[in-house]
Amino acid sequence: MTTLTPLFPTALTIAGSDPSGGAGIQADLKTFHNFKVYGATAITLLTVQNTCGVSRVQVMPVDLVMQQIQAVLEDIPPSAAKTGALGSAEIIEAIGAGARHWTFPLVVDPVLVSKHGAPLASRDCVDAYRQFLIPYADVLMPNLPEAEELCGFGIDSPELMERAAKTLLDLGAKSVVIKGGHLEGDPVDMYFDSAGHQLLPAKRIDTQNTHGTGCTYAAAVTAGLARGSKRITAIEAAKKFVTAAIGGNFEIGRGIGPLNHWV
């Protein structure tokens, strides 16, 4: 069989579905498209949600998730992959078992709750992330509440962000981006790897339309890695993209609206 060279880099998102299109695999695919990366998906959970809230979450069987991933790997090998909402410890463990054999970079966005506060992971997922998936993360991207859950202590300052990042690096992640959107003042992120750390500043934008910010950010990093960028280069470009997407948001829906993925 002839193997064709793809016209564009490819990336795989392993995440949940948002029927309103603002977050999850829908946001990931929009982001990949913006970066001229071909996107493939493995759906881990279905949600019933819109901009006003989440009313139902249905986690997929672990074998169905892994069969989706395997189907993509066999036919369209990705240049990078990301995880979003995974839903159960069993899915996290199974993906970790596969990731130990992957040769492409993996971005882990450890989604625990939705923007509306609805749980998107079972209570035992935190330990599963720590044990089974974080050790294979090329870039781990928790927001402050997620980092607090993973580290077991509160984080409300740059000093504690640094402590959290070192804790997560000790779990095996090659690099960590602690997202500072929940800090008071401007949303300064911090990038850490074994060589040190770097600030990723931005001005806070006065808008409620931030649905899918974390998904979009992680997808943009994944796209950059798929295109061959170094980690910090991909992260800086992703930070610039997501900031512009928040600033260019538009009014869709009656609640927390999506970003503008056309920027």
Domain range annotation of the chain: 10-247
For residue range 4-41, list pLDDT tens digits in order: 556 789 999 999 999 999 999 999 999 999 999 999 99
**Res 211: pLDDT:** 93
Residue 125: active-site member: no
- Tokens 């992703």 belong to 238
Asked if residue 133 lies in contact with residue 151, where contact means CB atoms within 8 angstroms, the answer is: no
Residue 41: active-site member: no
Residue 4, both tokens: 């064709």
Residue 83 has pLDDT above 90, yes or no: yes
Residue 239: active-site member: no
Q: Look at residue 184 and give its three-state secondary structure.
A: coil
Mean pLDDT over residues 172-181, rounded? Answer: 94
Task: Give percent above pLDDT 70 in the chain.
Answer: 98
Residue 233: active-site member: no
Select the CATH number that applies to the domain covering 10-247 from these four: 3.30.390.10, 3.40.1190.20, 3.40.630.30, 3.40.50.11540: 3.40.1190.20
**Single pTM value for the model:** 0.95
Residue 3 has pLDDT above 90, yes or no: no
Own/partner contacts of 165-171, CB < 8 Å, gap of 24 or more, are: 165/190, 165/192, 165/197, 166/192, 168/134, 168/140, 168/142, 169/193, 169/194, 171/130, 171/134, 171/135
Pick the catalytic residue from 30, 115, 179, 239. 179
Residue 51: active-site member: no
Asked if residue 26 lies in contact with residue 18, where contact means CB atoms within 8 angstroms, the answer is: yes
Q: What is the C-alpha separation between 50 and 23, in angstroms, rounded? A: 10
